[in-house]
Each structure stands twice: as C-alpha cells, then as structure tokens.
Chain A
C-alpha cells in the first residue's frame, strides 16, 4: 500500500528522446530512474571535461568560455555564472576559498535539482570540480536541504566513488589540482537558499542573510572568496566546457538569447504534471501542452513562471519565451522555470493567503519590513478571504507590496513575497474587492495608535 504512494521523481522524456547533442543535462539518465553510477557515467563521456580542462586550459579560459556561453543562474536569479566567477578574488596573496553548491531546493513549485542529484550526482560533482578549478577554490560543499534523504544517499555514494577513482582529492587527473567536496545537510528553513544566509548556515549559525558588499566572491565562508552556484547551473558546466560556448548557444537556436537548455516543469491541476529538459526559451504554451493541459475541463486563470517568489502571469502571456529577459519584460521573473498553474475555479485571495503565510513563516526576522510586514499581509488577506475585509484593506496591501519591495531589506525574501502580491492585486483586484464588506476600522487610522490594534 505505502510503496505505491512513494514519491519517485522521473522525467517525462524517455532515454531515446534524450540525446547527448540536445539534452546535456539529462541524456545520461536511465529510464528506470536508478542512479547512474561511476562506471556508467564514465562510459557516457563522464569526467571527460575534467580530464580535458584540467590538463589543457587555464582557469581564465574556463571562465571566458562560461561567460561566452552565458550560462545564467538556474537557481532563479539569472546572473551569468561566468561573470560571477570572473568577480571571485584570486591571486597570489588571496587565500583559496570555497565553491558551494546551493542544493537547498525549497522554492515552492520547484522539483528539478532533486532529479539531477538523485539520478545523476556525478554530473554535479564534475561541474563542481570544474567550478572549483576556475575559481581557485580549495574545497567544495554541497548544501543540501535535510528533507532530501534520497539525494543525500546518492551524493554520498557518488562522492565515495569519485574519491576512490581519483576524481576528487590530490592531483586530479594528473593535473596537480587538488579539490574535494563534503556534503552538508540542512535542518529546514527556506531562507537557507539565499546565498549569504546559506553561508551563515554553512558556518553553523542562524541563517540570517548578510549585507552586500562584500559579495561572497570577495568575502564569503570564513572570510574567504566563496562562489555559490545552483545545482542545475553547475550541471551545465561540463557540457559547456566539453563542446564549447557556440555549441551551447546553438541549443536554444532562435528561441532565446540565453543559451542552452533548461529543466522546465509544470505543477498544479494539469493532466500530466512533471519535468522536461527543453531548449531555453521554450514557450509557456508548449510546456503546458506537454503537461496535457488543465485537468477536469477547467480553464487556465493564471500562472507563476518559476516559484512562489515570481509574479503572476495571465493566459495571454503563454506565448512568451520562458527565458530571463522575456519574462522580466512581462513584469515577472523566470525564477526556477517550473510553472505553477492556477485554474479558473481557484481563488486568488486564498492562494495569496497561502503564499504570504509561507513567506511570513519563513522570514528569518532580521529586517523589520519583512518580519512585521509579512504577517500583516497574512492578517489582511485572511480577513478578505473570510469576507470580513475593511475599506482600505486593499490599499494597505498595495502599500505593503511596495514597502516590501527591493532595496529595503538585506535580501530578496521580502521582494520575493511582494512580487506575487503586487501582480495578483493588479490582475485580479476584483477578487480582493469582493472580500471588503466593512467600514474602515482602527487598523487604518493615521497614525496607527500604538498598542491598540
């Protein structure tokens, strides 16, 4: 009984559909979903990029190739990995620092890194060795969320295999480069995925974000230059270096200025939710079609392009290319690129209450707008959902969405919470207005009487 209910991640594309020249992230994965072990990985051109690069290219050349390929951060921020690596402090008087893989996948609606780590951990390890080489890192950490038990097992097995075979440790592939990786598993809290909070957590502290500058590349873990990259970003590295920037760019053809492929996904009430590796710039329409369309004969009302901290888009936006710049121009963010769909019978007010409850709970409490503002949005949204909203509540939500925006807090948690709220108020204001049934109460007095509300 219970075994049938066990969650198993599986791509919707069969091994026959996934080819080396077009599916660099997933072509080695097996149809049975079993982890690709070292022998199988090596037989499928695994660690070839490490042999090639460590013995033939300088770190600067690696960074140039990555910059030219324009691999943009797949954790959601979309920052060029090559440019990030370029900014890492390196030099004779600079201590060797760290390469940290952000494997704290917790963005609501996102289930892509799990797939890569459970089934193809050697690809991540190979990407980290190359990233470590490019950034002159002395050691790597995989910061994995604690709930990913299967991924932890797969990574530990792969690390042991790689170390045994000499792909980790001293003098990798006879190149003179030393590098090893340790797995760090977390203990909950969404905020750990924010890169500076992650560094604090790695150091065994509360996961409060750090102010920037200094950026982690200047002063990160234990004050050393530290590069933090997402799992999928690092998994892109071996194929880019093996086949070159031009090849990588060509994968997306005319669809997007961003090169390569992306693990795209769909969740919510669709007929065939799941995960696909597709060219960067694939449209939302094509992805939704692959997911079999909306379930139970309902219609699409809205969608989040890449997690809870991205802005809502409408059915009319489905034709847009799912890449960083195009989605940003439409007023949202690509984020992780895994769509969450909302159908016509689902309430935006209830969904916003759910989203803001999440953000309020997961705030680390460091900055006042985030710590105090988010619970306030929950209170207002819950009242509107019950049909007990007061005149002025929606305007108050408008103000909060603004006050939680970029530049007012240490990190992007509050802006991430503000983006879906602002877009929901813009596109679905009538749903919120239906919840306003009462006159303005003391909560809206100016100034708010201290201690009375």
Chain B
C-alpha cells in the first residue's frame, strides 16, 4: 500500500525493531519527495538507501524495514537492492571512502602502483577500513577520467593522474 503523503506527519520518526535505528524525519521527507518522481514507490528504493547512507555513512540493518515501510514495499525488495549495488554499504565504512579505478586505462597507466602506495600508507587492502575508522578502500569501475589516469575518488572528489608519491599529501586533506 502506498503510504500517506500527508505532510502533517512529517515531523514524526519511524522507529524500527531492528538495531534501534530511527529514520530521521528529514530523510523520510526526502524519500517521499523522490517517490513522487516515479509511477511506483519501489523506484525510490535506491535513492532512499542513498539518503540513509548520506546521514549514517552506511545502511544499518534497521534502515531496511524502515525504508520498506515508507515505500510500502517488502523489506526483502529493499535488501535485495541494497546488496546488489556496489556503492550501497551494508556494513560500516570509514569517515572517508577511497575509490580507486582499476579498469583498463588506469591499469595501463600504472594503477597497481597507486593501489599499492595507498594500501602501504594505510595498512589496508580493498574492502578494509583503517583501525582509526578514517578510511575505507574500495576498487571502482572506470571513473571516466581515463585521459588523466590513474584516477581515484575520495568522497565526492575525483583526482588524476595520481602518482604514488602524491598519496601521502592527498590523504592528509581528509582528517
């Protein structure tokens, strides 16, 4: 069933029975606004997960039934989507997420040296988070910055070309 869009309810929060997760009322509003762009509420599912992730850094277990409730769909539909997409995180990540392009053009311009320099500097490999919770390191599909490879992103910023000797200085800007 399609949830009510009555704005008088927008100050309320939805508590889930999972891990004590509470969907922020602003996030609920954002999800409902997104829902109105589409014929069916399921379509807002990916954006809903991104909305939650922007606030929490990841998608906690309790967010799944909370999103499902707002959109009036089953939690399995939300979880199925959450676990499919590589940029939806179903476990906690660091304060900053590093995405290193490992596709062909960057591979041909020494991506492996860049990856190794970051891994050595942070003491982690792909899929891992530093012990201080500062960085998570992940590979990513071609970033569309092939003319300046090897390329990488930290949070919302794209960099390239990044040489191994640039890594220390670059990471310093993300405390």
Contacts and interface: CB of A to CB of B under 8 A. Distances in A.
Interface string B146-162: 11110101001111101
Nearest to B71: A204
A187 B104 contact: no
A106 B99 CA distance: 14
B132 interface: no
Interface stretch (B2-10, B11-19, B22-30, B135-143): B135-143
Contact of A2 (B47, B80, B170): B170
Interface string A264-276: 0111110001110
A6 interface: yes
Contacts of A150: 158
Contact of A202 (B43, B81, B102): B43
A110 B50 CA distance: 26
A273 B146 contact: yes
A304 interface: yes
Interface string B31-45: 000000111111111
B44 A204 contact: yes
A1 B169 contact: yes
A305 to B, nearest CB: 13
A304 B158 contact: no
A187 B42 contact: no
Contact of B159 (A5, A201, A206, A357): A5
A299 to B, nearest CB: 15
Nearest to A106: B141
A430 interface: no
Interface string B91-120: 000000001001111011100000000000
Contacts of B85: 186-189, 207
17 contacts: A1-B170, A2-B173, A107-B142, A108-B141, A147-B143, A182-B37, A187-B88, A188-B140, A188-B141, A204-B38, A206-B84, A268-B109, A308-B142, A351-B104, A351-B108, A354-B103, A354-B107
Interface of A: 1-2, 5-7, 9, 105-111, 113-114, 145-150, 182, 184-190, 201-207, 221-222, 224, 265-269, 273-275, 304, 308, 338, 340-343, 346, 351, 354-355, 357-358, 362, 364
Given A5-B162, A9-B147, A185-B50, 5 more contacts: A2-B169, A146-B50, A187-B49, A187-B50, A187-B85
Interface of B: 37-47, 49-50, 77, 80-81, 84-88, 99, 102-105, 107-109, 140-149, 151, 153, 156-160, 162, 166, 169-170, 172-173
